[in-house]
A and B are shown apart, each in its own frame.
Chain A
Amino acid sequence: MDFTLTAEQKAICDNVAETCGKFSDAYWLGKDTTGDFPIEFHQAMAKGGWLGITMPDEYGGSNLGLLEAALMMHQVARSSGAMSAASAIHINLFGPHPIVKFGTDDQKKRWLPELIHGETKVCFGVTESNAGLETTAIETSAVKTGSRYYVNGAKVWTSTAQQANKIMLLARTKPKEDCLNRIEGLSLFYTNLDRDYVDIRLIDKMGRKAVDSNELFIGDLPVPEEDLLGEEGKGFQYLLHSLNPERILVGVEAIGIGQNAIARASQYAQERVVFGRPIGQNQAIQHPLAESWMELEAAFLIAMQAASLYDRKEPCGLKANAAKYLGGEAGFKACTQSLMTFGGMGYAKEFHVERLLREVLICRIAPVSPQMILNYIAEKALGLPKSY
């Protein structure tokens, strides 16, 4: 068991932190106010080659593992941009995974280079309001006529759809009644997000204003058969392959945000003097921050372990889910505690911790809720009856 990073891994952390460091608190607070997409940040990351970190080198990527991607996203989320920075690029890392894994050479050639260069932006259309966490219950359908599918239905929460020109779309290609089991009959498409057939409506939400989330109403969207990934009907299985990486990334993102928050709180607690001494001299202020520090460190270790298992192609589901859960909870607690450390000032936008708190909540909710992770751990790690 070796916990040291290689020189390259350290360099990745340092250089990502440095690139993100060029974007100030004021930049991100500005984006949080206007809701404008952080295009300058996205471009800087694309220019540095970071969007292709996990992509094959023959298409211009760097072919590194999930561990490196996790180190990178940890630094991104730890910067002032928090979830707005992370979500602006996150989808590039795990989103195209089904293309890398199940796409044909022609599809990879068509799609990967422009994703790596940041020229295409993709959104991820999985969640639907009538299905919720029960993904296999989605109703959006794709019906084939000739060499085309026609997609009808509605998606919800689709992030970055305002920016995206491509969508990774999960749709039913075989009616549920005709399927042998619940994971059958869904297909995965990577196709143009053609606004002539898709109505995209912004959801006004609590945080991460700069990175939009949307409702999508899809009417007769034509999808050429070349845009189907892998085999028809196997889309859900394909999706499962990118679930663990996504959980690990969201886990480390929450950890990064929490660490940023407690760093800000510790600094403030040293400077703010009340009753004749820095508030940070009081144990009631110190201890919760110390507790958060430990929880974040512990969650980070399990995330690194999960990533390393994944890279070695060993089963990592339990650890990946645990990392997402522990990271999300620890990050949330750290942000809450930091805000409380600032007292009234914590509620003021100019101190940024309230923004971190609003953003870190996403890591608890999505892509899977804490309750569902507990359900999964109870079933898979403890052998208890499946509860959902």
Chain B
Amino acid sequence: MNIIVLIKQVIDVELNLRIKDGALVEDGLNYVISSWDETAIEAALQLVETVGAGEVTLITIGPERASDALRKGLAMGADKAVHVLDSAFDGSDSFAYARGLAKLLETREYDLILAGKQAQDTDAGLTPSMLAEFLGLPQVTNIVKVDQAEEGKMVLHRKGDHGNEVIELTLPAVVSVNDSLNEPRLASLRGIMQAKKKPMETMDLAAIGGDASLVGESGRQTKIISLLEPEARQAGKKFEGSEEETSKQVIDLLLNEAKIFA
């Protein structure tokens, strides 16, 4: 089973982020693979291990530093990587990225495209769906379990509104994963050393046959008009006294101040 995994390098959101003059302060930031994408890599590795044949190819569109994310995926065990590196992609939104990815994937052979259900930085969750549309492929989002995988077919559990939907899917397809699907493995030192020797292809826009007017700033369909710090959380309120007293106080607040039942 040949699997493409789409990965995105994102800012490590565990660090303190600061916004200045409408832009993120990039100084001192750390970059990691978006955590859902790590789940997707793990899922791909497990699928190939289970099926017993095939390979895992990682793809990212991103700046120079994004190669670190690819290398990490290779160290986890992926077989090869493609880095689409072109400043023409600067300022892309999900739509423009999906268009670029579709262009690259048009000419490739694969059984399955895996991705995280959303990226840790934008939380948009749009790219896999748009890509599926561009490629004319079926898509399942938010999967939490893989029951069966074989030539041309998969059975998946998707977390839906009213419980887990069990879905039979014909391949090739685009599948996005929920992070409860698995616990991504840590790269071993040996994996890191082997990653050095695995093929990593760097391609610019021309190499993927892309059109500069359809990606980056000119290809985007949405526009961010300003960037603001999230509002600071207000301090909590502490209730003291007996259980009876405090529950009265809480109910009073919920009814009269928060007016949640109004």
By a beta-carbon cutoff of 8 Å, the part of chain A in contact with chain B is 7-8, 10-12, 14-15, 18-19, 22, 44, 47-50, 52-53, 62
Contact = CB atoms under 8 A, between A and B. Distances in A.
Nearest to A10: B68
Contacts of A62: 189-190, 193
Interface string B104-122: 0000000000000000000
List of 7 A-B pairs having minimum Cβ-Cβ separation, nearest first: A49-B189, A49-B188, A48-B188, A11-B192, A49-B190, A15-B187, A62-B189
Contacts of A49: 188-190
Nearest to A50: B189
Given A8-B196, A15-B192, A48 B186 contact: yes
Contacts of A48: 186-189
B71 A18 contact: no
Contacts of B190: 49, 62
Contacts of A22: 186
Q: Determine the main DSSP class of B at the interface with A.
A: helix
Interface in B73-132: 75
Interface in B161-194: 186-190, 192-193
Q: For chain B, which range describes its interface: under 10, 10 to 19, 20 to 34, or 35 or more residues?
A: 10 to 19
Given A7-B67, A11-B71, A18 B186 contact: yes
B186 A11 contact: no
B186 A12 contact: no
Contacts of A50: 189
Q: Most chain-B Cβ atoms within 10 A of its Cβ — which of A8, A11, A19, A52? A: A11
Given A14-B72, A49-B188, A8 B67 contact: no
Nearest to A60: B190
Contacts of A44: 186
A19 B186 CA distance: 7
A277 to B, nearest CB: 15
Interface string B183-210: 0001111101101100000000000000
Contact of B189 (A7, A12, A14): A12
B202 to A, nearest CB: 13
Nearest to A22: B186
Contacts of B67: 7
A8 B193 contact: yes
Among B67, B187, B192, the one with the most A-chain Cβ atoms within 10 Å of its Cβ is: B192
A300 B190 CA distance: 26
A44 B71 CA distance: 21
A12 to B, nearest CB: 6
A47 B187 CA distance: 10
A20 to B, nearest CB: 10
Contact of A52 (B186, B189, B192): B189
Contacts of A52: 189
Contact of A7 (B71, B186, B188): B71
B72 A11 contact: yes
A11 B187 contact: yes
Contacts of B192: 8, 11-12, 15
Nearest to B76: A15
Contacts of B71: 7, 11
B179 to A, nearest CB: 15
9 contacts: A7-B67, A11-B72, A11-B75, A12-B189, A14-B32, A48-B188, A49-B189, A49-B190, A53-B189
A326 B67 CA distance: 35
Contacts of B187: 11, 15, 48
A217 B85 CA distance: 64
A44 B32 CA distance: 21
Contacts of A53: 189
A11 B68 contact: yes
Nearest to A11: B192
Contacts of B195: 8, 11
Given A15-B72, A47-B188, A48-B188, 20 more contacts: A7-B71, A8-B192, A8-B196, A10-B68, A11-B71, A11-B72, A11-B75, A11-B192, A12-B189, A14-B32, A15-B186, A15-B187, A15-B189, A15-B192, A18-B186, A44-B186, A48-B187, A49-B189, A50-B189, A62-B189
